[in-house]
Amino acid sequence: MEGLGWGGHFAGVAARLDGVFGADGTFAHDRLRFVDFVDDVEELLEELARREGGDEEAADGFEGLVRRHYGG
């Protein structure tokens, strides 16, 4: 993201997601519940929307979309 010039927008994302995925790229369910991960990502999107003056309500739909798609 830094290479794309988006580093300022996503400050702290890597730190907040550290350890969430295993070395093979799969989600580490033993470290964090998937619903908690989705909630964290939604909060990050809302925070980004607020900073950029975007539609926070659009970010609100992320969690519901993921839950419907993955049956959670």
Q: Which of 43, 61, 62 is nearest to 51 (CA)?
A: 43
The residue assigned the tokens 């794309």 is: 4
Query: Which has the higher per-residue pLDDT, 22 or 72?
Result: 22
20: tokens are 């969430």
Query: Which has the higher per-residue pLDDT, 71 or 68?
Result: 68
Whole-model pTM: value is 0.61
The residue assigned the tokens 């908690």 is: 36
Average pLDDT for 45-69? 75
26: tokens are 């799969």
Query: Which has the higher per-residue pLDDT, 16 or 65?
Result: 65
Residue 27 three-state SS: strand
9-46 pLDDT per residue, tens: 666 666 667 778 888 888 888 888 888 888 888 887 78
